[in-house]
Amino acid sequence: MAGVSGFIKYSMFIFNFIFWVCGCAILGVSIYARVSKDGQDLLSEEKFGLNIYASVNVLIAVGSIIMVLGFLGCCGAMKESRCMLLLFFIGLLLILLIQIAAGVVGIVFKSKIEQSFKDVFQEEVKSLSDNEPESLDFKNTLNDFQKQFKCCGLINGAQDWGNNFQKYSESCECKKNEGYTCVTYGNKEVYEQTCGDYMINVLKKNLVIVAGIAFGVAVIEILGLVFSMVLYCQIGQK
């Protein structure tokens, strides 16, 4: 009867040990951020309506899943347990299928996602020109964003500020000698690029990076599936 390949066995162990350590790190940092005082202060802050708590909860779930899969892979390889290897294979296969489904959905609904962002920006524009106290935090946040990223307004540029433009115009002011494209509004040179366009462009660039990382992770996952199934079959042939 054929024996178990030592190369595949120990490669599986090393791969899954690193996998398990990464899961522990993600879970530990996420839980610390969730329960520590400093983490609570950070998570309580919302920028542009984003709930950071949800992101941390997702990271806790991801860290837990990675830990469990890493444990199954390590123990399955060293103990030559077909049951653990099969559970590892099924879990990793499900993750890979979810990644593929998410990628397909992202490609199919890419334009709709972009339009959703624009719809949100369109709603927020209304608060820039009013004088309601509850919209003050958003105005100050966008004002800081304009200073940092050299943009103006959300959808239509400086005119999004309406009667509040003079109050927040300093962060919109543009100097052509700095290499930015400027337009004239209210007798002032302001940035032509809107902050809404800036955010969408950054999102698109990051999606390319994420896609590249996801492809690399998918290759590693496929290797994990192949190694685990080969080891599973070899153990069955002993």
Going by their DSSP bridges, the two strands 188-191 and 182-185 should be labelled as: antiparallel
Angle at 220 between CA 217 and CA 221, to 5 degrees: 85
The span from the CA of 26 to the CA of 142, in Å, is: 31
pLDDT tens for each residue of 94-153? 988 888 887 787 777 777 777 788 888 888 888 888 888 888 888 998 999 999 899 999
The span from the CA of 37 to the CA of 201, in Å, is: 35
More confident residue, 171 or 235: 171
Is this prediction's pTM over 0.85?
no
The span from the CA of 192 to the CA of 122, in Å, is: 18
> Would you give the DSSP letter of residue 142?
H
Q: What is the mean pLDDT of residues 28-55?
A: 62
Name the residue ranges covered by the structural domains of the chain.
Answer: 6-108+207-237, 111-198
The span from the CA of 99 to the CA of 39, in Å, is: 29
Does the pLDDT at position 49 exceed 90? no
pLDDT tens for each residue of 178-219? 788 899 888 889 999 999 999 888 888 877 777 777 788 888
